[in-house]
């Protein structure tokens, strides 16, 4: 009897965990992503495109975490958008937990690369890591297909902040 209770309890805890992870790392379509960016007002969005299998992406993640932490009182929102294929979505959630990522993490729910790659940016070859900077009220949309160190990332962010409207 006792074992059954423990078992039930464990299942309850585990399923809550899974539900939270799915809420915390949601699937989003390109439309939903764009809507968030367009409704952001004077928020500067730094959207980092990554995947769990991409070593240079994983290597630069701490710089994006640091940027959000340093400018937490500013209208800045760093979002990690995973391009992992559907079968790896649980792996993405485990990765986010294991790394203890503080920034928002979304999984792009789009399959057709001919559709979503040019819509994110005509400049994008499809290589990752890549990062999109958007500030709707300043009319800024800058795409960078490159790896960032912290200094370069901060410089690019501040260049947008300091830009006149």
Number of residues that bind another protein (CB under 8 A): 26
Among 7, 55, 59, 69, binds another protein (CB under 8 A): 55
Given a contact cutoff of 8 angstroms between Cβ atoms, the answer to whether 65 and 98 are in contact is no
Asked if 151 interacts with another protein (CB under 8 A), we say no
Asked if 113 interacts with another protein (CB under 8 A), we say yes
Among 7, 18, 126, 155, binds another protein (CB under 8 A): 126
Among 29, 56, 137, 155, binds another protein (CB under 8 A): 56
Q: Compute CA 16 distance to the chain's CA centroid, rounded to the nearest angstrom.
A: 23
Q: For the CA atoms of 67, 71, 74, 77, what is the dihedral angle to 10 degrees?
A: 30
Asked if 110 interacts with another protein (CB under 8 A), we say no
Q: Compute CA 13 distance to the chain's CA centroid, rounded to the nearest angstrom.
A: 26
Among 111, 151, 162, 164, binds another protein (CB under 8 A): 111
Alpha-carbon separation of residue 45 from 39, 42, 83, 139 (angstroms): 11, 9, 18, 12
Asked if 156 interacts with another protein (CB under 8 A), we say no
CB atoms within 10 A of CB 90: 13
Strand partners, 27: 107
Among 25, 33, 46, 51, binds another protein (CB under 8 A): 51
Asked if 83 interacts with another protein (CB under 8 A), we say yes
Asked if 59 interacts with another protein (CB under 8 A), we say no
Please give the helix or strand (H or E) that residue 68 lies within, else none: helix 55-70
CB atoms within 10 A of CB 61: 19
Place of tokens 């805890």: 13
Kindly indicate which of the ranges 14-22, 36-44, 65-73, 140-148 contains the residues binding another protein, using the contact rule CB under 8 A: 140-148
Asked if 127 interacts with another protein (CB under 8 A), we say yes
Interface contacts to another protein, rule CB under 8 A: 51, 53-56, 83-87, 111-114, 117-118, 123-129, 145-147
């Amino acid at each position: 009897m006792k074992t059954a209770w423990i078992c039930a309890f464990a299942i309850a805890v585990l399923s809550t965990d899974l539900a939270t992870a799915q809420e915390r790392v949601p699937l989003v379509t390109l439309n939903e992503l764009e809507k968030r960016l367009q409704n952001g007002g004077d928020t500067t969005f730094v959207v980092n495109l990554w995947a769990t299998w991409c070593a240079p992406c994983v290597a630069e993640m701490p710089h994006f975490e640091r940027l959000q932490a340093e400018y937490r009182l500013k209208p800045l929102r760093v979002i990690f958008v995973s391009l992992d294929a559907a079968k790896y979505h649980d792996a993405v959630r485990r990765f986010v937990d294991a790394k203890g990522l503080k920034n928002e993490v979304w999984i792009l729910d789009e399959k057709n690369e001919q559709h979503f790659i040019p819509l994110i940016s005509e400049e994008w070859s499809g290589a990752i890591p890549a990062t999109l900077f958007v500030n709707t009220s300043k009319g800024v949309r800058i795409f960078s297909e490159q790896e960032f160190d912290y200094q370069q990332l901060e410089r690019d962010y501040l260049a947008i902040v300091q830009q006149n409207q």
